[in-house]
Amino acid sequence: MATDPAAELEALSAAGLLRVLRPLDSPAGPQVMRDGRALHNFASNDYLGLAGHPRLAESFIEGVKRYGAGSAASRLVAGTLAPHAALEEDLAAAKNAEASLVFSSGFATAIGCLPAIVGSGDTVILDKLCHASLIDAAKLSGATLRVFPHNDVPKLRKLLATVRAKDASGRILVVTESVFSMDGDLCPLLEIVEAVEEAEALLWLDEAHAFGVIGPSGMGLAAQYGLQERVTFQMGTFSKAAGLSGGYVAASRSWIDLLVNRARAFIYSTAPPPSLAHATRESLALIRSSDGETLRERLRANIRVLSPAAGSAIIPFVLGSNEATLEAASRLEAEGFMVPAIRYPTVPRGTARLRVSISAAHDQEVVAALKNLLPGS
């Protein structure tokens, strides 16, 4: 058996699928430095430009001074500090839920929660384009895994009817996203909610790319449609529009209490730094304020410059082949624009693409200049 990974790396390189780390020489922001060059950054998920916001930086520093650098224990042992509890209260209120639970990342939220909600004898039904963390979490749960074509509600209804006819008592968890991370399109949430309710199933909605951006006060697609109380689990992250890091789930008190007892990624992880929780409270308050609404309007204006019909800040340009996509990304970088080349396994084979992420922090003139350089312009 071969033990040297060199051959695998060579195969990845030959297929145009090799990834390498390329550190930035500057803080994150709408313009960054890499390899000594200034680049307009259209690769990040910092949709509101909060990663460099002075209010968050000051709050983080204040949190370190008040609560120290680390939590020093898992949440259930001795790692729950005042900012953790306060953040969860704030978030539950913002999401119109009874309670919420914070994790170290969005991936940890999915991996911790789905196996705690369903298991052997239950069924998870996922949208085909769900994020890798949701797919991995569903597999880890041990539940039967079914997949419906992307945003195909009639097919979802058929799957729900089939599963429920076979088992009238097992849990069925439908998993989808508000904004799909590689296509930027939205799910038909009302239709999905109605299908889930008719089947007496549960719904897990990943609001990662909607949180901070869509809906009243930026609280997501469920809030935009007034459906928060009808979504069993509202998941999201603080690593995108909130400008920080971490993940969360908002749900009923009983579900959150169960997750505290069963979500292994929560139970067996050291708590996130209290200073981070303190800064996240400031980010949440900013997002929900009039200043947050001003940033969302600026973001929407920038999106309209690049693509008037786009429904989110994620705008893909599908080129198909890995080679063409890598070449296009390289040409853009030569022109001073950092736009990532997204390839398999992040997207299906043959659908490699440039993925443009728009921020409120971008100047409209820069967005317009990028538009003139993109394929099809």
What are the residue numbers of the active site? 45, 131, 177, 181, 206, 209, 240
β-strand partners of 40: 31, 337
CA distance 66 to 82: 11
Two tokens, residue 87 = 């953040």
Two tokens, residue 135 = 């797919």
For the chain, give me the number of helices (H) and strands (E)? 14, 13
β-strand partners of 99: 251
> Which residues touch 239 (CB under 8 Å, ≥6 apart)?
45, 105, 106, 245, 246, 247
- Closest to 219 (Cα-Cα) out of 234, 199, 233, 230: 234
Parallel, antiparallel, or unpaired for β 233-237 and 31-34?
unpaired
Question: How far, in Å, are 77, 103, 124 from residue 141 at the CA level?
Answer: 25, 18, 9
Phi and psi at residue 40, to the nearest 5°: -75, 125
Phi and psi at residue 354, to the nearest 5°: -90, 130
> Which residues touch 267 (CB under 8 Å, ≥6 apart)?
74, 75, 76, 260, 261
CB atoms under 10 Å from CB of 229, counted, come to 12
Is the C-alpha dihedral spanning 274, 275, 276, 278 positive or negative?
A: positive
- Closest to 143 (Cα-Cα) out of 58, 101, 216, 204: 204
CA distance 303 to 367: 9
